[in-house]
Amino acid sequence: MQRPFVHVISAQAVKSPRGVTLVKWRVRRSYLKSDPTPFNPAFHRFAVFTAGATFILIIAGALVTSNDAGLSVPDWPTSYGHIIRLPPWIGGVRYEHSHRVIAGFTILLTTAIALWTWFADRRRWMKLLGSAALGTIVIQAILGGLTVLRFLPPAISTAHAAVAQTFFCIAVLIAIFTGRKWVEEIVPAVTDQNRPSLLALSLLSILILYVQLVFGAMFRHQGMPWWPHVLNAVIVSLLLTWTGVRAITQFPKVDAIRRPAVALLFILVLQLCLGFAAFITRVVWSVGAPQPELSMVIATVAHVSVGALLLATTAVLTLQVWRHAPAAQNNPVEARSVIAPRQAPDFSPQTRSS
């Protein structure tokens, strides 16, 4: 059975009605630090490369959607009846087939990650995460095939987009888990006494970003009007600003929290600007256009790609907050009682004479 590391956060002495002194420990369990493994530079570099390849895959997928090239190759898993042979390199076929080639290459990288974790990493949860990454990208490939075979239904296309960014987050987290800091760093004991906790804000930020991701994908695939995506963007902006500013002001000396929080705010501002550009070029300027215009393609692809970075950065911030600054909670299971020693009887002459 996997045993967690228990970090003692603080202790409080409480006196019971019977005169017994109780020491109430405030602790945190960490399952992601058990079964320590040595730092492997080659494995870490390979994980970083895989995360980078996944980001390129997201850009390639956004190019397919923005150029209306989803059905340029009408069959799957073959391309015009062939697996290895290149199809005619014209029109939207260039985007669709390139997307498939990059996806296949990323599947090979993820398979290597999964095998590497099983044979080289001692952490049991890391082995499971590697397998989960492989399962996620396989599901992603199947959803991509269904979008072609079912002629781009909005629901399946949206699921394809959501799973893609989920896999990107997993790839980024694997790169972090294999890094030297995660493997060798001694985590300081810092608590979050505020309500709501920073961890709760971070988790809520991930949730609202997924809602925004679904709204945006449904709009791009013509399954929803534009206004839910725009209205939810206001909520996303307020919540992520609150989370980022709170992280910076509350834990300014914890670099693992401060750095992703600063990156979060910067990427948020950039994403809002790109979202405005994508809205203008798609909704206002491209009405009635016979084919996607270059300005719309560039703005939309950049908006989707930076959105993936925003979600991954929020996931990293959430992970670091969970690790470095958990919400303070009293754990009665971990409480330890210390009985105050009784005073010994006094047999001095003065006591006897009295």
Q: What is the mean pLDDT of residues 69-84?
A: 92
CA-nearest of 102, 250, 260 to 176 is 260
Mean local confidence (pLDDT), 21-30: 50
Q: pLDDT higher for 36 or 143?
A: 143
In this prediction, residue 184 carries a pLDDT of 87
For a pLDDT cut of 90, what percent of the chain falls above it? 71
Q: Is 48 exposed, middle or buried (0-12, 13-18, 19+ CB in 10 A)?
A: middle
**How does DSSP assign 62-99, residue by residue?**
HHHHHTT-TTSS-SSSSBTTBSSS-----TTHHHHHHH
Segment 215-220 shows an average pLDDT of: 95
Instruction: Check residue 16 and give its pLDDT.
Output: 54
Predicted local confidence at residue 194, as pLDDT: 85
| Least confident segment among 126-140, 175-189, 304-318 | 175-189
Residue 90 has pLDDT above 60, yes or no: yes
Choose between 47 and 84: higher pLDDT: 47
- The pLDDT value recorded for residue 272 is 97
279 vs 272: CA distance, rounded Å? 10
What pLDDT sits at residue 14?
53
Other CB atoms within a 10 A radius of the CB of residue 249 amount to 10
Predicted confidence band at 338 (pLDDT cuts at 50, 70, 90)?
very low
Q: What is the mean pLDDT of residues 76-90?
A: 91
The percent of residues above 70 in pLDDT, for the chain, comes to: 82
pLDDT at 31: 47
Domain positions in the chain:
35-185, 189-329
User: What is the structure's pLDDT at 286?
Assistant: 75
Q: What pLDDT is attached to residue 8?
A: 47
Looking at the predicted structure, is the pLDDT value of residue 198 above 70?
yes
- Predicted pLDDT at 19: 55
**What does the pLDDT average to over 153-176?**
97
Q: What is the C-alpha to C-alpha distance for residues 312 and 176, in angstroms, rounded to an integer?
A: 11
Of 97-101, 115-119, 244-248, 283-287, the one with minimum mean pLDDT is 283-287
Task: Using pLDDT thresholds of 50, 70 and 90, give the confidence band for residue 340.
Answer: very low
Q: SS3 of 51, please? A: helix
Q: Hey, which residues does 25 pair with through a beta bridge? A: 11
Q: Is the pLDDT score of 174 beyond 90?
A: yes
**pLDDT at position 12 over 90:** no
Over range 121-144, report the average pLDDT.
96
Q: Higher-confidence residue: 329 or 88? A: 88
Q: How confident is the model at residue 70 (pLDDT cuts 50, 70, 90)?
A: very high
Strand order in the sheet with 5-15: 5-15, 21-30, 336-337
State how far the Cα of 312 lies from the Cα of 32, in Å rounded to an integer: 19
- 263-321 residue pLDDT tens: 999 999 999 999 999 999 998 887 777 788 899 999 999 999 999 999 999 999 999 99
Residue, of 340 and 118, whose pLDDT is higher: 118
pLDDT tier for residue 110 given thresholds of 50, 70 and 90: very high
- Check whether 92 has a pLDDT greater than 80: yes
Q: How confident is the model at residue 32 (pLDDT cuts 50, 70, 90)?
A: low
Average pLDDT over residues 169-183: 96
**Sign of the alpha-carbon dihedral angle for 266, 164, 120, 323:** positive
Task: Out of 62-66, 97-101, 264-268, 335-339, pick the least confident.
Answer: 335-339
Reading the block at residue 270, the tokens are 């950039």
